[in-house]
Structure 1
Amino acid sequence: MSSRLHDLVVDTLGRRVVQGELAEGTTMLAEELEREFGVSRSVVREAVRALQSLGLVESAKRVGIRVLPMARWNVFDASVIRWRLAADAHGVQLRSLTELRAAVEPAAAELAARFGPDGLAAELIAIAGRMRAVGRAGDLATFLDLDIRFHALVLAASGNEMFAKLEGVIAEVLRGRTEHGLMPDHPHEEALQLHVDVADAILGRRPDEAREAMDRIMRRTVDEVQSVWAGRPRVHLA
């Protein structure tokens, strides 16, 4: 029970912060949170520690729990990404994530073709084939699982541990596109083929082709969703 209550407090307060309901500089008191959520002081304390680790709040003696500016947030954390996507009516978070993918994933595909283990390359081929089958069938839930696995494997196959650690970030943006209705009912045939092309180029040790195919996937992605953030100002952190 205490674990569920802890998760409830963290999730509720985290969403309030990233959605702006709790603005930067807002101060909360532990006693108020205990009453609101009907939880013990220890639950509040642990929840605040979790939010502090994400850079969303800080706790100061005789002051309370203060909401921090976005410049302090851990914007790569999966929970922060999920909360921001849920509140992302104008696509600003989706734009940032899509641009991150477009910068990183083609480079990862090139490195995977140069240095990736043969076993991972063979698995990519198998996944790409399954993606084509379930995509044509309109099974978006299975397609999403396979898509997440495919892109995680490309990052891992690059041999760059920094790229590999972006697995959770990529997974959240792919889930977000599906959950917020930004995926077509049936993935486009070109997109399905491009995943096969990426896998084949990696297996065949053709780095330039792997980069180009992944870049085309990213450009298709931008074309499909950029209307969501059209005209929105960019985020400049001081």
Structure 2
Amino acid sequence: MSAADSQPSDVAFSGLHASVVDQMGLAIGAGEWQSGSIMRIEELEERYGVSRSVIREVLRVLASMGMVQSRRRVGVQVLPATEWNLYDPQVIRWRLASPGRVAQLRSLTELRTAVEPQAARLAAMRAPLADASELMGLAGKLWAAGRDGDTELFLKLDIQFHHLVLSSSGNEMFGKLNSLVAEVLTGRTHYGMMPDHPHEEALQMHVDVASAIQRGNAVDAHAAMLAIMERAMTEMSTLWDETAHK
């Protein structure tokens, strides 16, 4: 058999493997398997209708994310969330799809509040002129998309805007947080936690961030981005309060 002949089965396996990884990740994230639970390979084979080799590969992926651990002569143990790779975009996605999504959004928004204002401050000091100009253009497009109620376009532009601020900070660690921010913004939008028409004040804040970075005003850039983060925290606070009283 030639390499070309074997290709379809490789692609099919890859798709099956990814599907089972996603199903198991969602189940663990949703708490179907509590921390400390023991999963047995034979039971997983039956539950997902796949071979032992597929299950073993899936478990290796989940173990690399810190979600499970093989225990000799016992089985595969589900680890507590504190052991998970909480910055992995796929783990974030699974947690946002779980009943605990509000708590996950709160943690992520608090992290953004700590990082993004500082990133904006550094961007005002370090951003190349082309990046600063692109930010101004994105802020204008965001305003138009928000005014028109084009939710998907607004989400796409918002992700690009925050990505560019993080990367323009010149701090490679901040730049790597882009996928995390993208998951937060996507989760809020797709789970109905964003207004259909963003408030004009929020749109103006994005313009203020871009303008301050373009002018090289680090203090104003920090303040404007902090205002965006605080507004997001305020918008989410009602959800957090509702969850706390359930």
Q: Bigger CA drift: 4-13 or 154-163?
A: 4-13
Q: Does 1:42 align with 2:53?
A: yes
- SS at 1:58 equivalent: strand
Q: Does 1:57 align with 2:71?
A: no
CA offset at residue 88 of structure 1? 4.0
Which of 37, 44, 55 is matched with 1:33 structurally? 44
Aligned length: 233
- SS at 2:69 equivalent: strand
Cα distance per residue 1:166-215 (max 9 Å; x no partner): 10110001001101111111111111111011011111101000001001
Question: Does the Cα contact within 8 Å between 1:90 and 1:228 map onto a contact in 2?
Answer: no
CA offset at residue 24 of structure 1? 1.0
User: Counterpart of 1:113?
Assistant: 124
Question: Does the Cα contact within 8 Å between 2:118 and 2:222 map onto a contact in 1?
Answer: yes
User: Counterpart of 1:157?
Assistant: 168
CA distance in structure 2 between the aligned counterparts of 1:29 and 1:148, rounded to whole angstroms:
40
- SS at 1:82 equivalent: helix
Question: Does the Cα contact within 8 Å between 2:20 and 2:48 map onto a contact in 1?
Answer: yes
CA distance in structure 2 between the aligned counterparts of 1:122 and 1:90, rounded to whole angstroms:
35
User: Counterpart of 1:24?
Assistant: 35
User: Counterpart of 1:69?
Assistant: 80
User: Counterpart of 1:183?
Assistant: 194
Deviant stretches of 4+, over 2 Å: none
Give the TM-score, by structure 1 length.
0.94
Cα distance per residue 1:34-87 (max 9 Å; x no partner): 222121222111111110111100112322111011121111111111111111
Which of 72, 97, 106 is matched with 1:86 structurally? 97
Q: Which runs of 5+ in 1 are unaligned?
A: 234-238
Q: Bigger CA drift: 161-170 or 88-97?
A: 88-97
CA distance in structure 2 between the aligned counterparts of 1:40 and 1:66, rounded to whole angstroms:
20
User: Counterpart of 1:128?
Assistant: 139
Greater percentage in helix: 2
CA offset at residue 120 of structure 1? 1.1
| Percentage identity across paired residues of the two chains | 54
CA offset at residue 231 of structure 1? 7.1
Question: Does the Cα contact within 8 Å between 2:29 and 2:94 map onto a contact in 1?
Answer: yes
CA distance in structure 2 between the aligned counterparts of 1:88 and 1:205, rounded to whole angstroms:
43
Give the TM-score, by structure 2 length.
0.91
Question: Does the Cα contact within 8 Å between 1:57 and 1:68 map onto a contact in 2?
Answer: yes
Q: Which amino acid aligns with 1:23?
A: Q
Question: Does the Cα contact within 8 Å between 1:90 and 1:229 map onto a contact in 2?
Answer: no
CA offset at residue 222 of structure 1? 0.9
